[in-house]
A and B are shown apart, each in its own frame.
Chain A
Amino acid sequence: MPYRLLRFGVSRKHPEPRMFTRYDSLKAAYDVVIIGAGGHGLAAAYYLARDHGIRNVAVLEKGYIGGGNTGRNTTIIRSNYLTPEGVKFYDESVRLWQDLAADFDLNLFYSTRGHYTLAHTDAAMRTMRWRAEVNKHYGVRSEAVDADFVKRGIPSIDMTCGGHAPILGALFHAPGAIARHDAVAWGYGRGADRRGVEIHQQTEVTGIRLKGGRVTGVDTTRGHIATSKVLCAVAGFTPRILDMVELHTPIYVHPLQAMVSEPVKPWLDPIIVSGSLHVYVSQSARGELVMGASLDPYELHATRPTLDFVEGLASHMLDMFPFLSEVKVNRQWAGLADMTPDFAPIMGITPVEGFFLDAGWGTWGFKATPVCGKTMSHTVATGRNHPLIEGFTFDRFARYRLTGEKGAASVGH
């Protein structure tokens, strides 16, 4: 038992301060206003304060800290992307993840488990090889592996998947990890809070004021704030904020659902993804199987769960792991995924001066949390896009220069 827990045994009062200061009112002006106190917004606030010395920052959150997609995703962290832009970006993120717990002095349960993307067709096998080769080129540990390797790594899996989709091989990504999602938001939030950033929960942005194409302020349910810089990091709510500054993007919003089983004794070490079967699954530190699948098929701005989703996912889970027939599903939920046509984010400066965007995260924003914080804080502080996000710029659609990440995204997690 670590000694640091002993202080809880000797102290009469719980020896822990608040993680997040409660502010009664908003200031009249901030240097930067960040919309959205999810992982991305809080990470940007943290690095703005820590690395750029910008501390007069307000993070506005209409709900509660980490209550959006930060707390609704299936916590998978990986960098086995297809495009060089993607691989370099996520590799930097994975590097940052490794030291985050020490940075925060908070256990994030960052757990390297290995990540298999199963291939059931020769076309999928080709894509796995493509990803593996691009990954290796940038020093990311990924390999296209054969069926025997899969069988050795996941001895319990039905290699025929119920006879429907025999497993031919996989992309094996050794650094694939999971983490405790909420704690990431809390860690960034606490770190930002301690450096003077104000986090205002239950504070909804109702408008953004512009003058001559520049940001001048933000209207909220708790009053007006003057500011010249706004960072929008609101995932599925992005289009609503973009309407306030009259910007148009390809972003469309579909729900992404997930479900979790009751706890059972750990039997599954790695993270398993199957594009053909539309499944991704890992087993959490609580022993729960955390399971997800593909996007809902049409636009919706509500997190309502569907029966179709759990039926399909359960069926595909049992194709891979038939012995789970009696294991029970405890809960299902949904988040709002802000999708783009090329499955890459839209980041950085925009045609509105002082309005910065961190959006288009679709189904995979969690793993990018640290690197988004890093690059967006740089971009906000300097007014210039960070080099790592140059493949993800706002103007790439007008230039017909899409980033072809779709190939890696049959089930993108």
Chain B
Amino acid sequence: MMYRADADAQEWIDRAMPLGFTFEGREYRGYAGDTISSALAAAGVPYLARSFKYHRPRSILSFANHDSNNLFQVDGVPNVRGDVTLLREGMRVSALNTFGGLARDKARVLDHFARILPVGFYYKAFHSKRLFPRWERMFRRLTGLGEVSLDAPRQATPKRYGFCDVLVIGGGPSGLSAALAAAASGARVALVDESLRLSGNGAPSSLVRAVQDSAGINLYPATIAAGYYADHWVALAQQSYLTKMRAGAVVFATGVIGQPAVFRNNDLPGVMLASGALRLMARHSVAPGRRVVMLAGNLEAYSASLELHARGVTIAAIVDLRAAPESDAAVTDCAALGIEVLRAHAPYEALSGPDGTVAALTVAPCDSGTQVDASSPRRIDCDAVLMSVGWAAATQLFLQAGGSTRFSEELQQFVPRAAPSGIFVAGRVNGIYNLESRLADGRRAGVQAAAHAGFAVAGSAAAAQGTAAAHGTATAHGSRCPSHRYPIVDHPLAKNFVDFDEDLQVKDLENAAQEGFDSSELLKRYSTVGMGPSQGKHSNMNALRVLARYRGVAVEELGLTTSRPMYHPVPLKLLAGRSFYPERRTPSDAQHAALGALWMPAGNWRRPEYYAVPGESRAQSIDAEVRAVRSSVGLIDVGTLGKIEIYGPQAAELLDRAYAGRYSDLKVGMTRYGLMLDESAVIVDDGVIARLAPELFYFTTTTGGSATVFRELLRLNALWGLDCALVNVTGHRAAFNFAGPLSREILQRLTDIDLRDDAFPYLAVRSGLIAGVVARLLRVGFVGEVGYEIHVAAGSGAEVWQALHTAGASRGLRPFGVEAQRVLRLEKGHFIVGQDTDGLTDPQEANAMWAVAMKKPFFVGQRSLRILQAREPRQKLVGIELAAAAPLPKECHLVIERGVIAGRVTSVAHSRTLNKSIGLAMLSPDLAVVGRDIQIRVEDGSMLAARVAAAPFYDPKNLRQKPRLSA
């Protein structure tokens, strides 16, 4: 049973500040500075959680977030790491994934079924087609850990960009000394450590202070280096924000991770890593028990025993797996204290007491391969078993950085083999355990990293040595072996756990290998070893040992599985940050809003879909907008169109090559439609191209295409090296279309430009003043009436809109939105790129060959179009008509001919102007004949009759643009 030990000067808790909290509904007290796990342990709670698969009681194992034993639901937040989450007043803490509470968890019955739930059992049953859904519901009830609260708020966290010359990851002795050495070289250093406090992890306190006092070192305590990305770009996850750190060089001083011994019932509460017990005692003054058994596979077991003994803990015995411990002061000191040491003994089975925690350990003699003679095991009563049998190098980030490792038989751990440029490794992860050597290794790595970042200290011995050493890896380690070769003990009744996250026993791994999953990657995928929340930190090494023994090969032959971010799991909120979405608004946006605009997205802009008028339905408003354009005047904001200027002697040449039409013969003061193809002759964009001067063109693109069209034109211009330049003025200019039979008359009062037909004919472009503002006017016919596209500087956009709106108000003007414009252009039979065309439509299919100048020497798409012209098109875009009374099909409803798909409706609307329903359809060529009857199938499967019709539907001869009809 764990308990709070007497106060210690170095402890992190503040005994003057008690904090109240609840666990599983009961009230407890801890202290400020406690973590959830330490407070519960200090309170004597026998076990804190249930395991994932068998629902066995579990408590602290690593006390370092290297296992998922101690995940909790805290105040509605799932999967909170109890080991490393500070206690707060009033916290409501509960265990995860229990059915009826931690103590009474109904699912604990699963522990008794373990024998018939072998590795991969779920692949071997439950798959009857009829019953699977039922089984699956059961699995989904049992699975998962914490519960998300569906009403939890979105948390927008900030992000920071960090820059440093040398990033040191790990605040132990080697990391601290690396940071100090790099800073001494003049480098700006960032030091990252995941502990709640920078305590040095055994480093001399003078070193910790020197680092804290160094002006050249930025400290990032309580920070997780979550992932290494290309070019020394490291994600640093802090409590409430993410720092994206760009480093000149990185030192991985990531240390080693304590590994459990594997023996029957090694998961009982009270069986824990000695390294975890030391952390608990040193930081929180929580003792692992009153009478503990220490399992030894290395020297650290002895020093840990001494430390605990000094804090009043009785060491019942040290059970050393080896025939003889090292000769070291710690070993003799233990003997001097009268602690019994059992050599060449292994734990055979942990036994639980009435409260479910460990009450005794049976031990038995063993050989060097940990084969035990279980004929007469000895029982040692205890209330805790501590394991100090080995370490796994924390190479995850180093591997992510592209480093490679080898397995050192001598050290029984993976050590770096080769490091990429700018990557350095120091300390225990480098296989160096002696404190003095770790400090020296850190200095070496720090100096080398600083030199890599451009801060070489002339004549430095360390730097010189660094050039000789293979990219910062070092081999100078002591004589002792910190990790046992095989700290794994078989037991006929199993329950000897390798992976605590996933409840995997030795036999599970062996059985998986027997079934053919006998490489490290396949073993992981089949058994799920290392796939739990702790990502194999406490389990991968032992799993490899089990597999290596099973296959009779060396661990080195198996190798590690791939390491990927995250090193520790990172909340979505930190990665998401604030979710910044820029939305573009035109200069007259506020006026649209005031007029009742309902918005729709268009690219990254918002545009009025229509303007809602009180008392009118949506359809009525859109109808009225259409009617205004046809009968008086309408005003639409078209400022979202891409707007590009191109000037220079070869401006026309660029357009001739980039667009399908010809612009070199376009007269100054005139406009021409522009159709853009890709090299496979597919229509990708369109717009209107105006020639303002011999060497100056101004043209529009579609709203969605503006950025890509501009970028591609820049590329083509760079490729062809023509003497012209392009400017994207999309955001610089506002644009409105002022159209309708009254448009000329009303507009003339606002402008000094002569709007009479002979002075300003259809398709011309003129410059002048509108409402006192410099403007370009393009006379366009997109909606089928006399109309002027008015382009002004963005800063004057609101003013010009207002002037136009006011001028037309008494004459029946209505502002119109995208919906009305769609109807109007449809009446004119104009297609919309991307709606009436798709990703494979060429100009032949779209009936747009009139816009293509095939005789030009070259344009993008021309050669492919020649090929396509030689063959029958697959489909044709045609007009269609439906009776006025007929229900309206929807866009993308299919045309069916003798039970076969023969096309689709691409646009459709009811035209009040024409008193019928009209549309465009992409049809197979045999149907694309004017007068042909077709059948359109709508959602419910019924058929609507329609007829192929000639487009344009409205004013097919374009008489409305002719001078004699003008007002």
Contact flag (A, B; Cβ within 8 A): yes
Chain A residues in contact with chain B, CB under 8 A? Answer: 1-2, 4-6, 8-9, 14, 16-20, 22, 63-67, 71, 84, 98-99, 101-102, 105-111, 120-123, 126-127, 129-130, 132-134, 136-137, 143-144, 156, 162, 164-165, 180, 182-183, 186, 201, 261-267, 285-287, 304-307, 310-311, 313-319, 322-333, 341-342, 400-402, 404, 406-407
Q: Could you say which of A165, A307, A313 contacts B227, with CB atoms under 8 Å apart?
A: A307
Instruction: Count B-side interface residues using an 8 Å CB cutoff.
Output: 96
B127 A332 Cβ-Cβ under 8 A: no
CB-defined interface of B569-582 with A at 8 Å, one 1/0 digit per residue?
Answer: 11111011101010
Chain A to chain B contacts (Cβ below 8 Å), 7 pairs: A1-B113, A14-B511, A162-B579, A201-B519, A318-B579, A326-B572, A402-B840
Q: Which 7 pairs show the lowest CB-CB distances between chains A and B?
A: A287-B144, A322-B154, A328-B569, A314-B575, A107-B127, A130-B892, A265-B144
Residues of A within 8 A of B758 (CB): none
Shortest distance in angstroms between A98's beta carbon and chain B's nearest beta carbon? 7
Residues of A within 8 A of B163 (CB): none
Nearest A-chain residue to B97, judged by Cβ: A265
B525 touches A182 (CB 8 A): yes
Residues of B within 8 A of A286 (CB): 143-144
A404 touches B864 (CB 8 A): no
Q: Closest residue of chain B to A107, judged by CB?
A: B127
> How far does the alpha carbon of A304 sit from the alpha carbon of B565 in the complex, in Å?
10
Give the tally of cross-chain contacts (CB within 8 A).
280
- For residue B324, CB closer than 8 A to chain A, the reply is no
B152 in contact (CB, < 8 A): yes
Interface residues of B in 924-960 (CB under 8 A from A): 937, 939, 941
Name the residue on A nearest B893 (C-beta): A133
Contact of B581 among A18, A164, A186, A285 (CB under 8 A): A164
Residues of chain B within 8 A (CB-CB) of A122 are 600
Chain B residues with Cβ under 8 A from A263's Cβ? 52, 79, 143-145, 533
Q: If the complex has contacts A14-B507, A67-B521, A263-B144, are A314 and B154 also in contact, measured as CB distance less than 8 A? A: no
Tell me whether B140 is interfacial, beta carbon within 8 Å.
Answer: yes
Closest to A156 in B: B150
Question: Could you tell me the distance between the alpha carbons of A311 and B229 in the complex, rounded to whole angstroms?
Answer: 13
Residues from chain B with a CB closer than 8 A to the CB of A134 are 894, 901
| Min CB–CB distance B536 → chain A (angstroms) | 11
Please give the distance in Å from A68's CB to the nearest CB on chain B.
11
Indicate if B564 sits at the interface (CB-CB under 8 A). Answer: yes
Inter-chain contacts of B535 with A (CB < 8 A): 330-331
Residue of A2, A63, A126, A311 near B835 (CB, 8 A) is A126
Contacts of B126 in A (CB 8 A): 2, 107
A183 near B123 (CB under 8 angstroms)? yes
Which residues on the B side are within 8 Å of A156 (C-beta)? 150
B139: nearest chain-A partner, CB-CB: A285
Residue interface mask B809-839, A partner, CB < 8 A = 1: 0000000000000000000000000110011
Return the contact of A137 from the options B577, B581, B890, B901 (Cβ within 8 A): B901
Residue-wise, chain B 898-937 has the 8 Å CB interface mask toward A (1 for contact) of 0001001000000000000000000000000000000001
Residues of A within 8 A of B26 (CB): none
Given A14-B514, A133-B904, 15 further pairs, Cβ under 8 A: A98-B129, A106-B123, A132-B939, A137-B937, A162-B154, A164-B581, A285-B122, A305-B564, A307-B244, A310-B565, A316-B579, A325-B573, A326-B573, A327-B572, A328-B569
B 118-152 to A, binary, CB cutoff 8 A, 1 in contact else 0: 10011111111100100010011101111111111
- Whether A121 contacts B600 in the complex (CB less than 8 A), given A107-B123, A305-B565, comes out as yes
The answer to whether B839 touches A285, judged by C-beta atoms less than 8 angstroms apart, is: no
Chain A residues with CB under 8 Å of B116's CB are: 1, 5-6, 8-9
Report B-chain residues with C-beta under 8 Å of the C-beta of A143: 939
Which B residues are CB-close (under 8 A) to A101? Answer: 127, 129, 132
Which of A105, A137, A183 is within 8 Å of B894, CB to CB? Answer: A137
B144 → chain A, closest Cβ, in Å?
3
A77 to chain B, nearest CB (A): 15
Instruction: Tell me whether A130 and B904 are in contact (CB under 8 A).
Output: yes
Separation of A4 and B124 alpha carbons in the complex (Å): 8
| B835: chain A residues within 8 A (beta carbon) | 123, 126
Decide yes or no whether B891 CB sits under 8 A from chain A. Answer: yes
Interface residues of B in 532-558 (CB under 8 A from A): 533, 535
Q: In the complex the two chains form, is B78's CB within 8 Å of A332's CB?
A: no
The complex places the Cα of A4 from the Cα of B118 at a distance, in Å, of 12
A304: shortest Cβ distance to chain B, in Å?
6
Q: How far apart are A316's CB and chain B's nearest CB, in angstroms?
A: 8
Query: Which residues of the partner chain A approach B939 to less than 8 Å between Cβ atoms?
Result: 132-133, 143-144
| A314 engages B868 (CB within 8 Å) | no
Inter-chain contact A165/B144, CB cutoff 8 Å = no
- In the complex, the answer to whether B840 meets A332 with C-beta atoms within 8 Å is no
B12 at the interface (CB under 8 A from A): no
Given contacts A1-B116, A264-B145, A331-B535, contact A326 B575 (CB under 8 A): no
Report how far A310 CA is from B227 CA in the complex, Å.
11
Interfacial chain A residues near B118, Cβ < 8 Å? 5, 8, 14
Tell me if B892 and A327 are in contact (CB < 8 A).
no
User: Are A262 and B890 CB-contacts (below 8 A) given A329-B566, A332-B565?
Assistant: no
Asked if residues B564 and A333 are in contact (CB atoms below 8 Å), the reply is: yes
Residue of B nearest to A6 (CB): B116
Name the residue on A nearest B514 (C-beta): A14
In the complex the two chains form, what is the Cα distance from A19 to B518 in whole Å? 11
Say if the beta carbon of B594 comes within 8 Å of chain A: no
Report A-chain residues with C-beta under 8 Å of the C-beta of B734. none
Q: Does A327 contact B571, Cβ atoms closer than 8 Å?
A: yes
Whole-angstrom distance between the alpha carbons of A262 and B235 in the complex? Answer: 19
Which residues of chain B come closer than 8 Å to A326, judged between CB atoms?
77-78, 152, 155, 571-573
Chain A residue, CB-CB nearest to B678? A341
Give the shortest distance, in Å, between B120 (CB) and chain A (any CB).
9
* B127 and A102 within 8 A (CB): yes
- B153 beta carbon closer than 8 Å to chain A: yes
Known contacts A129-B891, A306-B229, A330-B533; A99/B129 CB under 8 A: yes
Query: Is B601 interfacial (CB 8 A cutoff)?
Result: yes
Q: How far is the CB of A235 from chain B (nearest CB, A)?
A: 17
B144 touches A264 (CB 8 A): yes
Of the candidates A17, A121, A316, A329, which one forms a contact with B515 in the assembled complex, judged by CB atoms under 8 Å apart? A17
Contact with A along B326-350 (1 / 0, CB 8 A): 0000000000000000000000000
**Residues in chain B near residue A107, CB distance under 8 A:** 122-127, 132
- How long is the Cα–Cα vector from A143 to B144 in the complex, in angstroms? 31
Q: In the bound complex, what is the Cα–Cα distance between A324 and B570 (angstroms)?
A: 12
CB proximity of B162 to chain A, nearest CB, Å: 13
Expressed in whole angstroms, the Cα–Cα distance for A182 and B78 within the complex equals 28
The interface residues of chain A lying within 8 Å CB-to-CB of B576 are 311, 314-315, 317-318, 325
B584 smallest CB distance to A (angstroms)? 13
- Residue numbers in A under 8 Å from B78 (CB-CB): 264-265, 326-327
Closest chain-B Cβ to A35's Cβ sits at a distance in Å of 19
B593: CB under 8 A from chain A?
no
**Taking each of A84, A122, A401, which has the highest tally of chain B beta carbons within 10 Å of its own beta carbon?**
A122
A325 touches B127 (CB 8 A): no
- Report the Cα distance A131→B597, complex, angstroms: 31
Q: How far is the CB of B859 from chain A (nearest CB, A)?
A: 18
- Which of A8, A134, A162, A164 is most buried by chain B, counting CB atoms within 10 A of its CB? A8
- Name the B residues within 8 Å of A144 (CB-CB): 939
Q: Determine the distance from Cα of A331 to Cα of B536 in the docked complex, in whole angstroms.
A: 12
Cβ < 8 Å to A, chain B residues 562-610: 562, 564-566, 569-573, 575-577, 579, 581, 583, 600-601
- Please tell me if the beta carbons of A265 and B564 are within 8 angstroms of each other in the complex: no
Residue of A nearest to B578 (CB): A315
B233 at the binding interface (Cβ < 8 Å): yes
- The chain B residue with its CB closest to the CB of A66 is B525
Contacts of A305 in B (CB 8 A): 227, 229, 564-565
A388 vs chain B, min Cβ distance (A): 17
Tell me if A264 and B147 are in contact (CB < 8 A).
yes
Given contacts A106-B123, A121-B601, contact A287 B569 (CB under 8 A): no
Residues A106 and B124 in contact in the complex (CB < 8 Å), given A201-B519, A307-B227, A331-B535: yes
